[in-house]
Amino acid sequence: MKKIASLLLFTLLLFTCNEDMDDNTPSTASIAFNFTHNWDDTQINSTNLEAETVTNANGEVINIDRIRYLVSRFELVSLSGNTYSFDGYKFTDLSDEATYNFNPEINTIPTGTYTLRFIWGFNEEDNIDGLYQDLNTATWSWPAMLGAGYHFLQFDGMYNVDTTNPSPFNYHNGTARVSDGVFEQNFAVIELDTPISITNDASIEVKMNIAEFFTNPNTWDLNVLDTPLMPNYNAQKMMQENVLSVFSIGEITQ
């Protein structure tokens, strides 16, 4: 009887150890990114992009005509500091909801808790003039006289639309021109500290608050800075500063 009891105890311990080993085996998940867009509490998408009237932090009443932007080098960083990188870049046109999602081709990571990091625009290594055929087709190039490469943002519309004298604005962001033939990289590293818990295949919502382009840390006065902004070094650096507060983490669907 003692031998039988000992054998049963050994079998139970062996089963428990194997079960623990299975529980400790890392599982993996596939990741997708879904970008949504709003002006503070108002959702902006293809249905109301040109119809919505909004007011910026400086009090100018605005109608939006176009918003297109580029982000790249997505990375999820684990709590232990391991980094998982995703190839490719994301070109978004708010008039086309098919461009809101980003599904990297190779995107399997261990389950766990992460934070998200990506590049606003292209970094110096990637911002190669004429290299990307889809961006060339989209007329996304940044002028050679301003440093070449590609736009990071095209944000166009009208301001002071509540008056009898509305005016156009072209809030375009890319490489900063210091002087003739002298240029400065103007991309930004977006680091979102909100913990992202991945337990299964997941879609991560990344929220863009468009109002922040005009708000923080530089309150934007469109009566002074409306057009042309592309060759304006100070305006380009202000845009680089303001974009850091534009993005946040939304819902995690899994």
Domains contained in the chain, number: 1
Could you tell me if residue 115 is inside a domain? yes
pLDDT at 59 over 90: yes
- For residue 6, what pLDDT band results from cuts at 50, 70 and 90? very low
Q: Average pLDDT of 77-96?
A: 97
The letter for the amino acid at 234 is N
Exposed (0-12), middle (13-18) or buried (19+): which is 155, by Cβ within 10 Å? buried
Could you tell me if residue 62 is inside a domain? yes
Could you tell me if residue 66 is inside a domain? yes
How many other C-beta atoms are found inside a 10 Å radius of the C-beta of residue 137?
8
Element (H, E) at 7: helix 2-24
Weakest mean pLDDT among 23-32, 60-69, 89-98, 183-192? 23-32
pLDDT at 20 over 60: no
Q: List, in sequence order, every residue forming a beta bridge with 39; answer none if it has no partner.
A: 42
pLDDT tens readout for residues 139-161: 999 999 999 999 999 999 999 99
pLDDT tens readout for residues 198-237: 999 999 999 999 999 999 999 999 999 999 999 999 999 9
Distances (CA, A) of 80 to 84, 168, 225, 233: 12, 48, 43, 39
Q: What is the pLDDT of residue 174?
A: 98
Could you tell me if residue 106 is inside a domain? yes
Could you tell me if residue 136 is inside a domain? yes
pLDDT tens readout for residues 106-141: 889 999 999 999 999 999 999 999 999 999 999 999
Could you tell me if residue 3 is inside a domain? no
Q: Average pLDDT of 167-180?
A: 98
Average pLDDT over the chain, rounded to an integer = 91
Give the global pTM: 0.89
Could you tell me if residue 161 is inside a domain? yes
Q: Which domain holds residue 107?
A: 29-253
Q: What is the pLDDT of residue 67?
A: 98
Verify cis geometry, omega within 30 degrees of 0, for the bond prior to 26: no
Could you tell me if residue 10 is inside a domain? no
pLDDT at 23 over 80: no
pLDDT at 22 over 60: no
User: What secondary structure does DSSP assign to 122-171, as a single string?
Assistant: --TTT--TT--HHHHHTT-BPPGGGT-SB-SEEEEEEE-TTSSS-EEEEE
pLDDT > 90: percent of the chain: 89
pLDDT at 71 over 70: yes
pLDDT tens readout for residues 192-204: 999 999 999 999 9
